[in-house]
């Protein structure tokens, strides 16, 4: 009987998961990405959430730009390889993983500038 009571309570109360209705709708975002003063290309820009509402995303860097639909919120970011390992190897190692010292806020109507130097 005790097991059934616990099971019933867990069904009524839920499992404590995230309510999918709490995330804001994605917005259009542009990020200008440069490396050594030139537009970066053939890389992957990774958005790693650091705050509520943000969801992870991975987007191509093409001709110095990231064009994406991303949920508003706070993110750190890091770079991974595109098709060319040589281009990725030129990216400073500090950008190969996210860092709480390097955060961006995604909000409507902004173009972000990221320098991989």
Would you state the pLDDT for residue 21?
53
CATH superfamily for 25-115 is Carboxypeptidase-like, regulatory domain (2.60.40.1120)
| Residue-level pLDDT at 12 | 41
Phi, psi of 101 (to 5 degrees): -80, -10
Residue 57: is it exposed, middle or buried by C-beta count within 10 angstroms (0-12/13-18/19+)? buried
Mean pLDDT of 102-109: 94
Sorted by where each begins, the domain ranges of the chain are 25-115
Q: How confident is residue 13, by pLDDT bands cut at 50, 70 and 90?
A: very low
The predicted model scores a pTM of 0.79
What are the tens digits of pLDDT across the range 60-76? Answer: 999 999 999 999 999 99
pLDDT, tens only, 15-56: 444 445 577 899 999 999 999 999 999 999 999 999 998 999
């Amino acid at each position: 009987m005790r097991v059934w009571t616990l099971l019933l309570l867990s069904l009524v109360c839920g499992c404590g998961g995230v309510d999918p209705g709490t995330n804001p709708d994605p917005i259009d975002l542009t990020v200008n990405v440069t490396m050594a003063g030139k537009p970066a290309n053939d890389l992957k820009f990774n958005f790693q959430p650091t705050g509520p509402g943000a969801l992870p995303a991975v987007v191509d860097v093409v001709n110095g730009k990231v064009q994406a639909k991303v949920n508003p919120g706070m993110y750190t970011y890091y770079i991974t390889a595109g098709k060319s390992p040589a281009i990725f190897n030129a990216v400073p190692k500090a950008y190969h993983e996210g860092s709480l010292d390097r955060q961006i806020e995604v909000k409507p109507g902004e173009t972000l500038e990221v320098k991989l130097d």
